Amino acid sequence: MKRTGSSKGAVRHLRVVLGDQLDRHSPALADVDRNHDVVCMFEVAQESTRTWSHVARTAVFLSAMRHFAAELEEGGITCDYARLGHHSCDSLEHALAEAVRRHRPARVVMVEPGEWQIEQNLKATCAELNVPLDLRPDTHFLVSRDAFAAWAGQYRQLRMEHFYRKVRKDTGILMDDSGEPEQGRWNFDTENRGSFGTRGPGMVPAPPHFAPDAITRAVFDDVRRHFPGHPGDLASFGWPVTRADALLALEAFMRDRLPWFGSVQDAMWAGEPWLFHSLLSAALNLKLLNPREVIDAAVTEYHAGRAPIESVEGFVRQILGWREFMRGMYWLDMPAMRQANHFDHNRRLPSWYWTGTTHMRCMHEVVGQTLAHGYAHHIQRLMVTGQFALLAEIAPREVEDWYLAVYVDAVEWVELPNVAGMAIYANGGRFTSKPYVASGAYIKRMSNYCSGCRYKPEVKSGPAACPVTTLYWHFLDKHEEVLLRNPRTNLMAKNIGRMKAEDRQAMRETAARMLDALDDL
Ligand code: FAD
Ligand code: SF4
């Protein structure tokens, strides 16, 4: 890969491309002048060390960045690429300041960063150096930050479903000719909650594996050298790191897995990390793929009769609904979202979140596949690792940092609202109607995890008690009054009132023992 420190003349625009902005059609590159502009890209260790990042997460970012820079240079664009170990800048703002001093551009051009703190830091750096910053709206998303804020301003309660319906109407996606939702329903959520029963998922089509090329292998060497002891494994790394590979991954999902995605999208099965999921989140978040093209591909499958509505609507809802909604909420609520701690939880994250070494088979499976691949699907993140962190009263910052560290798709604008807003209710139900909690019976119904577990999902107290179940009842016990007042949790909370006094006491004692020794579970 060619590395040039200066353009072919005086530098007019320094175009900064961050690691999650790898879109050749980005507004930051739209009007690039090959003779007078320089594109700057920075690899900085801090992005992998401020949360103790999984090696595959770091490798996905660095490999995709290096491939992207190589493509720009092949297209005649001058790239000043700060490679890990080849510079002494410890942060993005430091690297930007050095680049500005080196090139003395008339202005810095970039697309608004995905992360609130990075935007603050880069703006401050440009202001300090007295260089104009042309910060352009991020057109990757279907709904701009301003449009989301305008929508949110009309409501007292912010709900994804209302937002999703509005965007469906505005875009015409999955709408019929008379302006009604396809097949007369906005939402096929009830058809999306199936499990595999006792027989399991059967043959699951293997997702494509993109064998590491020379660039990716060099990244592996750098990751091992610069981040020794970081969690995770690179042995099975096969993520798409170029747009061409991301398009192949998209095509394979549409062909092989989308038709089955809908009915079992919440189901889990030991030893089956991928199931019928798309595995496209990292490629989307790096911007190798555009959400619009992913949605269009799914809708095409529906109209061609190759995928049923519950799969296509279920998939479109995740991207057009949840992904856009989470991004909007993040920008609406930052920086307060990062401080939120509704329940005032302060316990440390159990050490087995970093090793998978626990007797709880559900946690062992989900943490294990997370460490092996940097991947877990939505329900594994929400109802296994996420809800356990809530029930175990873990400090939100500990939980948030873990999620930001361990997934290949982890970027704060989507990680934080999912963790603080959905999984651990740290923001007090700002955009959900209730905390997402369930006993071990839910995990038993949705997976085969409980069958090989030392604990019993139906047992609330004593040595065989399932920690998920015991801590679920403990949560209801502790928050009974508030939960009784909420119509969405009233039924659940009434159950604790029906528990015999001695059973309740035994459950409390078991819960107290568990909470005191979370590392030993
Ligand atoms: P699929 O199941 O195939 O879904 C398709 C796409 O929909 C995904 O690729 C993703 O882009 C989008 N999507 C699905 N669910 C969500 C959601 N809840 N919010 C936003 N987009 C969604 N997603 C990330 O991209 N990065 C994160 O750091 C992240 N952290 C999460 C933390 C928690 C606690 C939870 C509950 C969810 C988190 N998610 C995150 C959302 C979701 O779990 C992942 O996007 C999904 O599992 C990625 O796998 P996939 O591509 O196979 O998704
Ligand atoms: Fe998890 Fe409890 Fe089932 Fe064990 S019994 S796998 S701890 S839900």
Q: Please, what's the largest Cα pairwise distance for the chain?
A: 82
Residue range 511-515: mean pLDDT, rounded = 98
Centroid of ligand 2 to alpha carbon of 157 (angstroms): 34
The predicted pLDDT at position 325 comes to 98
CA count, 13 A, side-chain hemisphere, 432: 20
**Cα 299 versus chain centre, distance:** 23
Residues 190-218 have a mean pLDDT of 91
Task: Quote the pLDDT of residue 5.
Answer: 44
Q: Which ligand is nearest to the CA of 262?
A: 1
Q: How far from 60 is each of 73, 93, 137, 487, CA to CA, in Å?
A: 20, 22, 25, 44
Whose alpha carbon is nearest atom 5 of ligand 2?
457
CA atoms within 13 A on the CB side of 226: 27
Other beta carbons less than 10 A from residue 85's beta carbon = 10
Q: Which ligand is located closest to the Cα atom of residue 470? A: 2
Alpha-carbon distance of 415 to 421, in angstroms, equals 10
Q: Report the chain's mean pLDDT, rounded to a whole number.
A: 95
Least confident of 161-175, 187-201, 215-229, 376-390: 187-201
pLDDT-derived band of residue 194, with 50, 70 and 90 as boundaries? confident
Return the structure tokens found at 498. 């029906």
For the chain, how many residues are written?
521
Q: Which residues contact 47 (CB under 8 A, 6 or more apart)?
A: 19, 53, 58, 61, 92
Say whether 281 sits in a helix, a strand or coil.
helix
Question: Which structure tokens are listed for 419?
Answer: 């963790």
Residue nearest to atom 3 of ligand 2 (CA): 450
Q: Regarding predicted confidence, which is higher, 10 or 362? A: 362
Alpha-carbon dihedral sign for residues 435, 439, 445, 448 = positive
In this prediction, residue 1 has a pLDDT band, given cuts at 50, 70 and 90, of: very low
Q: What is the pLDDT of residues 84-136, one digit of tens each?
A: 999 999 899 999 999 999 999 999 999 999 999 999 999 999 999 999 999 99
Residue nearest to atom 7 of ligand 2 (CA): 360
- CB proximity list for 87: less than 8 A, separation 6 or greater: 95, 98
* pTM of the full structure: 0.96
pLDDT given at position 7: 47
Q: How far is the CA of 380 from the centre of ligand 2 (A)?
A: 13
| Distance (Å, whole) CA 61 – CA 68 | 10
Closest by alpha carbon to 109, among 122, 95, 121, 90?
A: 122
Q: Tokens in use for 514? A: 């568990």
> Residue 519, Cβ neighbours under 10 Å: how many?
12
Mean pLDDT of 162-190: 94
Give the separation between CA 13 and CA 35, rounded to whole angstroms. 10
CA atoms within 13 A on the CB side of 194: 17
pLDDT digits (tens, 9 = 90+) for 378-394: 999 999 999 999 999 99
Distance, CA of 71 to CA of 59 (rounded, Å):
18
Instruction: From 383, 449, 460, 471, give the residue whose CB has the most ligand 2 atoms within 8 Å, as the site to mutate.
Output: 449
In the three-class reduction of DSSP (H, G, I as helix; E, B as strand; rest coil), residue 448 is classed as coil
- In the predicted structure, residue 3 carries a pLDDT above the cut 60: no
Using the 8-state DSSP alphabet, how is residue 411 labeled?
Answer: -
Query: Could you tell me the CA-to-CA distances from 28 to 136, 137, 290 in Å, in that order?
Result: 7, 9, 16
439 CB under 6 A from ligand 2?
Answer: no
With the C-alpha atoms ordered 498, 499, 501, 505, is the resulting torsion angle positive or negative? Answer: negative
Of the candidates 281, 212, 272, the residue with the CA atom closest to the CA atom of residue 250: 281
pLDDT at 191: 81
pLDDT digits (tens, 9 = 90+) for 439-480: 999 999 999 999 989 999 999 999 999 999 999 999 999 999
Residue 468 Cα to ligand 1 midpoint, Å, equals 23
| Predicted pLDDT of residue 8 | 53
Would you say residue 488 has pLDDT above 70?
A: yes
pLDDT band for position 165 (cuts 50, 70, 90): very high
The number of the ligand 1 atom at minimal distance from the alpha carbon of 327 is 20
DSSP 157: S
Q: Is the pLDDT reported for residue 269 higher than 70?
A: yes
- The torsion angles phi and psi of 14, rounded to 5 degrees, stand at -95, 115
Determine what percent of the chain is predicted with pLDDT higher than 70. 98
Q: Is 42 helix (H, G, I), strand (E, B) or coil?
A: strand
Q: Give the per-residue SS3 of 174-230.
A: CECCCCCEHHHCCCCHHHHCCCCCCCCCCCCCCCCCCCCCHHHHHHHHHHHHHCCCC
